[in-house]
Amino acid sequence: MNMQDFRLDGKVALVTGASYGIGFAIASGFAAAGATIVFNDIKQELVDKGLAAYKEAGIEAHGYVCDVTNEEQVNNLVATIEKEVGVIDILVNNAGIIKRIPMCDMSADEFRQVIDVDLNAPFIVSKAVIPSMIKKGHGKIINICSMMSELGRETVSAYAAAKGGLKMLTRNICSEYGEQNIQCNGIGPGYIATPQTAPLREKQADGSRHPFDQFIIAKTPAARWGTPEDLMGPAIFLASDASNFVNGHVLYVDGGILAYIGKQP
Q: Is 64 helix (H, G, I), strand (E, B) or coil?
A: strand
Instruction: Express as a percent the part of the chain with pLDDT over 90.
Output: 91
CA angle 197, 161, 157 (to 5 degrees): 60
* pLDDT tens for each residue of 50-96: 999 999 999 999 999 999 999 999 999 999 999 999 999 999 999 99
Average pLDDT over residues 203-226: 92
pTM: 0.96
- DSSP annotation of 116 reads I
User: Which residue type, as a one-letter code, is found at position 229?
Assistant: E
Radius of gyration (Cα) for the chain, nearest Å? 18
Catalytic residue numbers read 159
* pLDDT tens for each residue of 186-213: 999 999 998 878 888 998 888 889 999 9
- At 132 the pLDDT is 98
C-alpha–C-alpha distance, residues 183 and 171, integer Å: 10
Query: What is the 3-class SS of 121-178, one letter each residue?
Result: HHHHHHHHHHHHHHHHCCEEEEEECCHHHCCCCCCCHHHHHHHHHHHHHHHHHHHHHH
In the predicted structure, residue 1 carries a pLDDT above the cut 80: no
Q: Which has the closest alpha carbon to 94: 176, 198, 7, 194?
A: 194
- At 174 the pLDDT is 98
According to DSSP, the residues that pair with 192 across neighbouring strands are 226
